[in-house]
Each structure stands twice: as structure tokens, then as C-alpha cells.
Structure 1
Amino acid sequence: MIFLINKYLNCKIFNFISYRIIFSLLTSFFINLFLGPYVISYLKKLQTFQIIRINGPIGHFNKNQTPTMGGILIIISICLSIFFYCDLYNKYIWYVLTIILGYGLIGFLDDYQKIKFKNSNGLKISYKFFCLSIIAILIIFIMQFNKESNIYIELIIPFYSQILIKMNYFYIFLSYLVIVGTSNSVNLTDGLDGLAIMPVIFISFGLGLIAFCSSEIHLCNYINIFYSKQANELSVLCASIIGSGLGFLWFNTYPAQIFMGDVGSLSLGGALGMISILLHQELLLMIMGGVFVFETMSVILQIIYFKIRKKRIFKMAPIHHHYEVKGLSETLITIRFWIISFILLLIGIISLRVHNAI
């Protein structure tokens, strides 16, 4: 679309990636803002209400009239923004877009199962995990066959820019874990109004900043990131995620008028994982996405400890429910998690350069 605008309207402003980043963010934001009320109204008519876990916090039962599957709105705004402002000849864009649409479809089926059978379980975990894995593995192998360099990958270690770990075929397995793991981590975190979407916005900003610098060789050498002519286009895509996330937060903040559902959380998590792989910043994602890591670890530790000791570490998992049960208000928990996520974003950005600066 940007090439048609440049050709027929002679609008050279879109030749500059900085302008496309701004327009991408604003477009996805206003699409959400405009379509939001209509989507909420339509989902209410379809009675696509959130199915509340029976063993979840008691206070959540008053949310059973809030429509879910709002992730459809997020995906639409991101895809439209990508179509308008991204270079569609860039293969990196298509890798991320495939994950967004593929994981979004799986999330849609999961949400549909919950609503249809009035059950919070949705798709069988094994079937859901299998579908997520198939898409991730397919994309990873396509990437390997179309890669400019050989199979050996250098993994950047945050805070230690002089140390690069060379990896061979194990990198394929690592990439798989990053995509599927991040997707499920965002899904687990999406349990309170606005809790998951703000960390997604922060991480998208961090990854977008790295992508923007990735095509400048001098900047790459200075802050220790991989040089790639194609990766900077991901900054426009990250901007669309930020804009869409802010637009969705308009309706998702407490008290939420709509939830993103699995269709939103799985697609956004998968997209973040995919972008971090393309930028070779998988370990940095773990720092900036520390809230997601913490939420996931709380579930894993709870399960393992209960099987061994028949006791619970937390009153309820994921960890945000633990604080709810302890009596903290939903807004207090959410805002504190936002603050932690922002601090982790800053730490992640600092880690790119800190070792060279010493």
C-alpha cells in the first residue's frame, strides 16, 4: 500500500520509516477506538461472555456478563496497519503475521469451545499445545531454509556484550520454546483487567526500538545488536501492536468492557516471541517480559510443589490471583505489575550497552 501511495499520490513522506512508525501506531489505535463500541455491542448480542473458572477468585463472578474474544479487534487493527504501512515484500513481516493469524485462529477455537459448552477449559491442552507447536515449527523451518546465513547462530547475552554464544541446531529448539512459551505466558497473565496488554505494549516498544536501530551499522556496533537490513521494518509492525494495545486498553482497563480472550493473548504472545527471534534478542525478551516469566513460573512451581509436598506455595496461581486472595484490589495489582514491567523494560534497554560502557 505504501508503494501505491508513493507512486500515484507522490507522497514521499512514507519513504521515511519514522513517519510510517507514527502513522502505524496512530492508525491501529484509532481503528480500535472506532470499532471498539461496535465490536463490544456485537459480541454482547452473540452472548460471547467470559466463562469464569469455578475455582477462581470469587470477585471474578461479576464479570460473567463481559464479552470476550476482543482479540479479534486487536488482530484486525494490527493487520490493517501492517497492510497500509509495512513493506509487504519483507519476509520478516510475513513470519510475524503468520504467527499472529495462526495463533489467533487457535485462540478463537479455544474461546469458541469455552462459550459453546459453558466451560472454562476450552480446547484440550494436548490438542491446543500440538496446534501451537505445529505452527511454530513450520515457521522456524521456513526461516532456516530462507536464511541468508548458515545454521550457526550467535546468541547475544544481555549485560555481557562481548560474549556471544554460538549455537547450531539447538537454536531451532530454543526458537520453538520462545514462540510457544511466550504465547502461553501472555495467556496465563491475562487474568485481570488490563494486566497483560500493558506489558505487551512495553515489550513491543523495546523490541521496536531495537528493530529501528538494526539497519544502522554504527548503532548496531554501539549497542551490540545484530545488523539486518530487513529487521528495521519490524519497528513499524511493533508500532502497530503498541497502537492496537493502547486502543484496546481504552476498553479493557478496569472495569473492563471487553476481554481479549485466547484469540488475543496467544497471538500477541506468539508475535513477541517471533519478533525477538528475528532480532536475536531471545534472552532480552526474558528480561523485558519478566512479568510473564514470573506468572508462568508461579504456575509451574505451584504444580510441582503440590505434587511433591501436597501443599501450595501460593494461595492461588498464577501469582496475580495469589495477591487477589490476599485482599489486594484488582487495580492495585494491575498497576503495580505495570510499574514492574516498565522497570524491566528500562533494565532490558540498559543491558544492551552497559558492558561496553564500563
Structure 2
Amino acid sequence: MLYWLLYEKLFPFFHPFRIFRYLTFRTVFASLTALLIAMFIGPYVIQKLREFQIGQFIREDGPQSHQKKSGTPTMGGVLIVIAILLPTVLWSDPANPLVWIAVCSTLAYGAIGFADDYTKVVNRRNLGLTARAKLFWQGLAGAGVAVALIALTQFKLFSTQLSVPFIKFWRPDLLWHHWPSTLPHLGWLAFVPFVCFIIFVLMGTSNAVNLTDGLDGLAIGCTIIAAGALTVLTYVSGHVVFADYLELQRMPLVAELTVFCGSMVGASIGFLWYNAHPAEVFMGDVGSLALGGAIGTVAVIIRQEFLLPFIGGIFVLEAVSVVLQVGSYKLRKKRIFKMAPLHHHFEQLGWSESKVIVRFWIGALVFALFALTTLKLR
């Protein structure tokens, strides 16, 4: 909005407004705006959550040391969503459709998390929406993102070719009608692989962040690192010189998503101020699902889905630990970990909560740095 008003409308009359044209300037100020919003309205949001008695219900089978956290205000993810979306709308180009796809995806996944948290509060237990209902709505939101991106391909504003780490020239396409002409014309069925792939990525990312949100500051700290890596990736993917040098797909519209990623970094840092151990507020599913949806959507748009396991390495490890634990118990009646997700396993080994959090942050940083190095290792 500020870009449209100050640059496109007022720049001809006041030339210093030229600075609003520069993406780096707007990204930095979007990040600072998000940080300030989170910092200043944080106490108000926490107070209102206390007034409405929206407290966290702790799972009884979890570490007993966590029982003292029962009643801590939850649904603080509302603060994160506000702090991401307002600066994005203020500082980005409102004519860019990719920005609105990211905004709508974040809102959609945040709404699913809100419904889940609200159900927990109403029922006064640590069980919200059923797994089937949650997966259905997450899949529907992912399908909406996929359909919007497919629509942009018709105007050549988006590419469905995947970028594969370490391989320069192999870029498989998920649309069947781009495959060899020997394939029969399939109509709308040509889009099925792409839609299913996008749903899988977004569902996986949102649930992985959700599973990581079990210790004070753990998920939000890892999100700061992942969002920082995505900020770099979106910038270089949309920059003509860097994209050519790194032999990435040239996608000019993608650059504007850097503002969105910068807002995510700022909002996450601001929320960490209140979520650091001992936490004054928890993000709840409204925050974790929104952040996971945002991270997954950006990765999909910049065609770096295969880098997600590195960008969000800790999220992946947490999700895999749950899958392995459940699968092992059902098949062998034995557990692999003392407790899942993975952070609880290390707590059971005797690590303090603060030690688990900081060491997982270090792991997230190592994963993210490795993801960035793959840009040149091609």
C-alpha cells in the first residue's frame, strides 16, 4: 500500500520517494514494522487472552515438568499473523498476485489453527479438531494455493518446473501436458500431479511446525532461521543478476515475496520476546499452522520444495520422529524414542528445556546454511 501510494502515485511530485522502489529498503522496513507491531501489541493481546481465560491445556502423558505451564495464555499466534500480514500489505506491491497467494495461504492455515485452538478452549482439554477434519481443511487450503498457481501459469506468470538441488539442468515439470506429446490429452487431469504435490508439501510443512511447537521458543526460533533463509532465496530468485549467476529459474514476480519473508522474520522475533523461556504466551495451532503454511507456500512459489527438508531441518526431524514412533509401536509394539516428538526424547534423557531449545536452534541454523550453500553446489 505504501509502495503504491508513495512511489507509484507521489514519486512524480516528490522524487525522494524513489527509495520506495528498492526491494531491500522495503524488506528491511517491513521486518522492522512487523517487529514493532509484535512488540507493542503483544502485552495487549496477552492481557486479552488472560481475560478470556484462553489458557493452554498440557497433555497428561508429557513431561511432568510441563504441568506448571498449564493455564499459560495460548492462541498468541493471532499476534504473529497480524504482525506478518499488516507489514506485507503496507510495504509490498499490491499488484503482485504471488504476494496475495502467500497472504491468503497464511490466513487459511491460521484459520484452521484458530478453529483447532478454539475447540480445545471450549472443551477444556488438549484435543481440538479431529485429525481427519484438520487434514481435510489443510488439504483444501493447499488445493486452493495450487489452483491459484495453475491459473497464473496460463498468463506465464508462474513456472511449474521444479528446481532440484545439486543438478543444474534437470527441471522436471509436474504438469502432464508438458510431458512428451505421445501422452494423450488429459484435460484437467493434467493438473492432478501438481495439485497433489502442493497439497503434500503444505500439509507436511504446516504439521511439522505444529509438532515442533512443544517447548518455549523452540518453534518460533527455528522459524526465524527458516524465514531468514527463505528471504535470501526469494531475493536471489527474483534478481536478474543473481538468478543468472546461480543458474536459477528467473522469476521476476517472486522478488516481491522477499517483503513477505522479511515480515515473517520480524514478526517471529517480536513474538519470541514473549515466548522465550519461561513463556508468557504460547502461539497455539493458530500460529504454528499459519507459519508452516507460510513457509511451505513460499517454498512452493520459488520452486524450492526439495530444499525444504534443509531450510526447515528441525521441523522435518520432529515430524519424522513422530511417524517413526507411531509406526514402530503399531508394527512392533516397541518405541524408538523415549517420547515423541524428538524434543521430548531429549528432555527424558535429562537435558534441561533451555538446553534442548538452544541446541535445536543451532541445528536449525546449520540446516539453513547448508540449504543456502546448495545454490552454488550445482
In the other structure, the counterpart of 1:109 is 115
1:44-193 → structure 2 map (5 Å cutoff) = 44-147=50-153, 148-149=155-156, 153-168=160-175, 169=191, 170-193=193-216
1:224 and 1:204 map into 2 onto residues whose CA distance is 22
Equivalent position to 1:298, from 296, 301, 321: 321
Q: In structure 2, what is the equivalent of residue 15 of structure 1?
A: 21
1:342-357 counterparts in 2 under 5 A? 342-355=365-378
Give aligned-pair identity as a percent. Answer: 39
Task: Out of 201-210 and 161-170, give the one that drifted further.
Answer: 161-170
Partner deviation per Cα, 1:34-64 (whole Å, 9 max, x = no partner): 0111111111111111111111111110001
Contact 1:199 1:341 in 2 (8 A): yes
Q: Secondary structure at the match of 1:230?
A: helix
CA distance in 2, matches of 1:249, 1:65: 19
* Helix, strand or coil at the partner of 1:155: coil
Consecutive aligned runs of 4 or more in structure 1 exceeding 6 Å deviation: none
Which one-letter code corresponds to 1:227 in the other structure?
R
Q: Contact 2:149–2:158 (CA<8 Å) still a contact in 1?
A: no
The alpha carbon displacement at 1:237 in A equals 0.4
Q: Is the 8 A contact 2:146 2:194 kept in 1?
A: no
TM-score by length of 1: 0.96
- Answer yes or no: is the 8 Å Cα contact 2:157–2:253 preserved in 1: no
Shift of 1:65: 2.5
Q: Structure 2 CA distance, aligned partners of 1:247 and 1:290?
A: 22
Q: 2:77 touches 2:282 (CA, 8 Å); kept in 1?
A: yes
- Contact preservation (8 Å) 1:161, 1:353: no
Gaps of 5+ in 2: 176-190
Match of 1:288 among 292, 299, 311: 311
**Would the alpha carbon gap of residues 39 and 354 (structure 1) be closer, same or farther in structure 2, given more than 3 Å must change?**
same
| Deviation of the 1:152 alpha carbon | 7.7
SS in 2 for 1:354: coil
Indicate if the aligned counterparts of 2:217 and 2:357 stay in contact, CA closer than 8 A: yes
Of 274, 280, 289, which aligns to 1:266? 289
Shift, 1:167, TM fit: 3.1
Distance 2:159 2:89 in 1: 33
What's the Cα RMSD here? 1.5
TM-score (norm 2): 0.91
**Amino acid corresponding to residue 167 of structure 2 in structure 1:** Y
Distance 2:361 2:22 in 1: 32
- 1:90 is displaced (CA, Å) by 0.6
Q: CA deviation at 1:160?
A: 2.6
How many residues are paired up?
355
What residue ranges of structure 1 are gaps of 5+ in the alignment? none
Q: What secondary structure, in the 3-state scheme, does the structure 1 residue paired with 2:199 have?
A: helix
| 1:243 Cα offset (Å) | 0.1
**170-179 or 310-319: bigger deviation:** 170-179
CA distance in 2: counterparts of 1:50 and 1:44, whole angstroms:
11
How many Å apart are 1:213 and its aligned residue?
A: 1.7
